[in-house]
Amino acid sequence: MTTITSGERVAPVSVWKVGVVASVHTETPSGRSIMIDVPGWGGNLAGQHLDLRLTAPDGYQAVRSYSIASASAGDRLELAVDRLPDGEVSPYLVDDLQPGDEIELRGPLGGWFVWRPEQTEPVQLIGGGSGIVPLMAMVRAHQESGSTAKFRLLYSVRTPEDVFFRDELMAFASSAIEITWVYTRAVPAGWATPAGRVSRDILASSTIPASENPAVFVCGPTGFVETVADLLVELGHPAASVKTERFGGK
């Protein structure tokens, strides 16, 4: 029997590893965060993702990519998943997966849409819906490392109930990072702004301006990402400074 010391990556990222669900937590009416223990995982950078593979009893397989909400060095990682109405995998992860279940995954994957604590430039994070997940890893990494880089987050959701990691983000908002909330369908009671999508004006007034040369990370559904990225370039951000990750889901 092989003894695996926690924190050592013993297999290449391409090898399918078996994780065990440690806990699950309801985040929103359609979303859940999931803690998974993966012997030999060895940690991941903030912004990376993994591929999950599910196998049905008749051998049918489905593979989907999910961003990792955590950015720690050890063998425990956190995912957060939103249930998509016509999804095949997300309903299983949100509604059926239980602590103790085994799940296959490969990774960590993706070295481009990543924030490292060594980076000192200001950082603007823009997330739509479950696009918050890799950005959450970046916020946590920023906090954990003691980085003094300026961080701002713009988080767009349909309604206040759809916010992932609400308590943790509220705590960060008061201490470490400026957060702008955009509600596209329904706003909290007493909210000054009516519901509406992220616009050029909102970006101009609530995000780090191009003149400060921020690194910008935009994540969410494809339509959201492309609209926001185009607006950022219109506002003067060099295209090379704007990194994007489009979600498909299902």
Partner 1 sequence: MNHLDGNALAGPLSELFSVDMTLATGRCLGCGDESVLARAMVYESGTDLVVRCSHCDDVLMTLVHTPGDLRIELRGIGMLRIPL
Partner 2 sequence: MGIISRGFSGRSREHNPELPPGQFLTEDFPVLSAGPTPRIDTDEWEFTITTENGTVHRWSWADLMALPIEDVATDIHCVTRWSKLGTSWRGVSLDTLFAGVDTGYGYTMAHSYGGYTTNVPLADLLGGKAWVAFEFDGQPLDPEHGGPARLLVPHLYFWKSAKWVRGIEMHKGDDPGFWEQNGYNIYGDPWLEQRYS
In the list partner 1, partner 2, none, the entry touching 162 (Cβ below 5 to 8 angstroms by class) is: none
Minimum CB separation of residue 207 from partner 2 in Å reads 28
Nearer to partner 2, 62 or 170 (CB): 62
Minimum CB separation of residue 137 from partner 1 in Å reads 14
Residue 174 lies near partner 2 (rule: CB under 8 A):
no
Residue 39 lies near partner 1 (rule: CB under 8 A):
no
Whole-angstrom distance between the N-terminal and C-terminal Cα of the chain? 37
Rounded to 5°, angle at Cα 7 from 99 and 151: 85
The single-letter code of the amino acid at 237 is H
The rounded distance, in Å, linking the Cα atoms of 67 and 230 is: 23
Q: How many angstroms separate the Cα of 14 from the Cα of each of 59, 106, 208, 226?
A: 20, 6, 37, 29
Name the DSSP class of 130: G
Nearer to partner 2, 91 or 117 (CB): 91
In the shown chain, the binding pattern of residues 87 to 116 toward partner 2, with x for contact by CB under 8 A and - for none, equals -x---x---xxx--xxxx------------
The rounded distance, in Å, linking the Cα atoms of 94 and 32 is: 6
In the shown chain, the binding pattern of residues 214 to 233 toward partner 1, with x for contact by CB under 8 A and - for none, equals -------xxx--x-------
Which residues contact partner 2 (rule: CB under 8 A)?
A: 16, 18, 53-62, 86, 88, 92, 96-98, 101-104
